[in-house]
Amino acid sequence: MTSSQNRHHHRTDLARIAVEAMIERGLEPSFPVSVQRQLDALTGPAQDADPLIRDLRALPWCSIDNDDSLDLDQLTVSEPLADGAVRIMVAVADVDSLVDKGSPIDEHARINTTSVYTSARIFPMLPERLSTDLTSLNLNEDRLAIVTEMTIAADAAITHASVYRGLVRNKAKLAYDAISAWIDGRGPLPDAARTVPEIEGQLRQQDEVAQRLRKQRHAQGSLELETFQPRAVFEGERVVDIRQQVQNRGRQLIEEFMIAANTCTANFLARHGGASLRRVVRSPERWLRLVELASKYGETLPRTPDSRALEAFLARRHRADPLRFPDLSLVVVKLMGAGEYVVERASNEPIGHFGLALHDYTHSTAPNRRYPDLITLRMLKSLLKGDKAPYSADELQALAIHCTNQEDAARKVERRVRKSEAALFLESRIGEVFDAIVTGRTDSGTWVRLITPPAEGMLVGHVPELDVGQTLRVKLKDTNVERGFIDFAAIA
């Protein structure tokens, strides 16, 4: 490796590396002039006098997202019903109301198909004037939305669902970690929630329903995985920490409602007989490799794919060895195969989402951030308005392949920049010793992950015989921010 110690890197270097990675992967890091011209013509948020749009602004809607999120795609609200049932409503931003199909903004979004998030720079799918303002479900602003209304019974079954257009108003902008700390009794109710009398009860109720849904999903075989995705923390130009995002009750609340809404959306489209763009994870072709993996832990999986058996195995491993669980999760994800978009019709047997143990699933809840969600939103609106379908079968098929490829490219950009973030954070700590765990061994090398900070690198020099999962002490030998490389030496 060529050492990067002859210069000190900063946040601006990571932003440059991110731009280069975007271009290398066939993504566009900047908006063309035609997009700016279209933006200049917009005078404000969309308005629509359609009498079928329901005025739901009086409800105590709230958003829960990351602390720094400004592109707010969804709001939630709940209402108790008889016999332990609860009505859950999910409002999703009606991005289509300002982004016409085929317009310059839409054409650019269609190229990248997703927002790309790196710590040094975000590459939004839509211009920020839209994604964080005019189409974002911002606090105390009236916004058009597509609403999915679900009745969730005491046993977590969704007994009724409907989809319609609505006018909504966000009453409380909340963040995952603060809400989770409050739910767990580790912190106060956030001030943003205190200002709306109904919100505290709403959050308690929504958390209870979300946990009910979560328990039911995992009982049906939905997989609980813990992927390794650390992110840099900045103070100005300096990287001051690398932190692994932790799963918590706030994130679970939104995750469960979005999964439920995505399932109901897929079912709604199927009931109306049209084609839909589904998100699928196929039944693993390399299932026998998963069987072999489980056997190394003294576990037995059936010879044919069984998501319930795999989830039970994963749950036991998480309890037995949480330190190594992210690495096991990564192996399982690779053996299962990546998710993809496909076109499905109501008359066909659905491929389903093996990881979520669902037959019907689409992406519909993040149209400010993902193009497939904007496609689905347009299809929903055309059905609700009785208009012609906005996409032909051939268009959908081409978009399914394109969106799959571009999301894969975006993930590779984010992973590439995460490696450079870690190298930047560690470049001033050459010679320090860390606790680490072996995460991989191939003919080309042995890889390790530091326990703290959560950074990955390669062993160089004399490498002893090591098994995956083994812990050891390592010394940091070198970093290369430009290439995202980190070298360690094993300490005997």
| Position 353 pLDDT exceeds 90 | no
The secondary structure of residue 324, as a DSSP letter, is T
Host domain of residue 325: 287-336
Write down the pLDDT at residue 54.
97
Stretch 437-459: mean pLDDT: 89
Question: Where among 397, 424, 451 does a domain terminate?
Answer: 424
Residue 308 covered by a domain: yes
Nearest by Cα to 211 from 251, 174, 246:
251
In a domain, 6, yes or no: no
Q: Are residues 308 and 164 part of one domain?
A: no
Residue 413 has pLDDT above 70, yes or no: yes
Kindly give the interhelix angle for 393-426 and 11-24, rounded to the nearest 10 degrees. Answer: 150
Mark whether 380 and 402 lie in a shared domain.
yes
Could you tell me the two tokens for 340? 């993809």
pLDDT for residue 199 is more than 50: yes
Mean pLDDT confidence for 87-108: 97
Domain count for the chain, please give it.
3
86 band by pLDDT with thresholds 50, 70 and 90: very high
Judged against a pLDDT cut of 50, whether residue 42 lies above it is answered with yes
Q: Are 126 and 80 members of one domain?
A: yes
| H/E segment holding residue 419 | helix 393-426
CATH of the domain at 478: 2.40.50.140
Whether residues 352 and 309 share a domain: the answer is: no
225 & 325 share domain = no
pLDDT of 325 higher than 50 = yes
Q: What is the pLDDT of residue 125?
A: 96
pLDDT for res 472: 92
Q: Please indicate, yes or no, whether residues 243 and 363 belong to a single structural domain of this protein.
A: yes
What value does the mean pLDDT take over residues 105-120?
Answer: 94
Same domain, 207 and 82: yes
CA dist., res. 212 & res. 439, Å (int): 34
The per-residue pLDDT for 4 is 45
463 and 332: one domain?
Answer: no
Per-residue pLDDT, 467: 83
> Could you tell me if residue 2 is inside a domain?
no
CA distance 363 to 354: 15
Provide the b/e sequence for 315-343 (b: ≥16 CB within 10 Å): eebbeeeeebbbbbbbebbebbeebbbbb
Whether residue 1 is predicted with pLDDT greater than 60 in this model: the reply is: no
The answer to whether position 365 is within a domain reads yes
Q: Which of 387-396, 405-414, 441-450 is modeled with the greatest confidence?
A: 405-414
For residue 76, tell me if it sits in a domain. yes
| Model pLDDT, residue 226 | 75
Dump pLDDT digits (tens) for 282-319. 888 889 989 999 998 999 999 998 888 998 999 899 88
Q: Answer yes or no: is 1 within a domain.
A: no
Q: Is the pLDDT of residue 188 over 70?
A: yes
Whether residue 331 sits in one domain with residue 454: no
Examine the domain organization and report whether 292 and 371 are in the same domain: no
Q: Is the pLDDT of residue 26 over 90?
A: yes
Residues 315 and 372 in one domain: no
Residues 181, 155 share a domain: yes
Q: Inform me whether the pLDDT recorded for 200 exceeds 90.
A: yes
DSSP letters, 2-46, are: ---TTS---HHHHHHHHHHHHHHTT---S--HHHHHHHHT--SS-
Q: For residue 7, is pLDDT > 70?
A: no
The arithmetic mean of pLDDT across residues 243-271, rounded, is: 90
- Residue 235, pLDDT > 90, answer no
Q: Is the pLDDT of residue 255 over 80?
A: yes
| pTM summary value | 0.91
Average pLDDT of the chain to the nearest whole number? 90
Residue 3 clears pLDDT 50, i.e. is over it = no
Q: C-alpha angle with apex 455: 453 to 461, nearest 5 degrees? A: 115
Residue 465 identity (one-letter amino acid): E
The SS3 call for residue 478 is strand
Q: Is 5 within the bounds of a domain? A: no
Of 394, 424, 454, the last residue of a domain is 424
Please, how many CA atoms are within 13 Å of residue 368, restricted to the half-sphere of its CB?
22
Region 14-18: what's the mean pLDDT?
A: 94
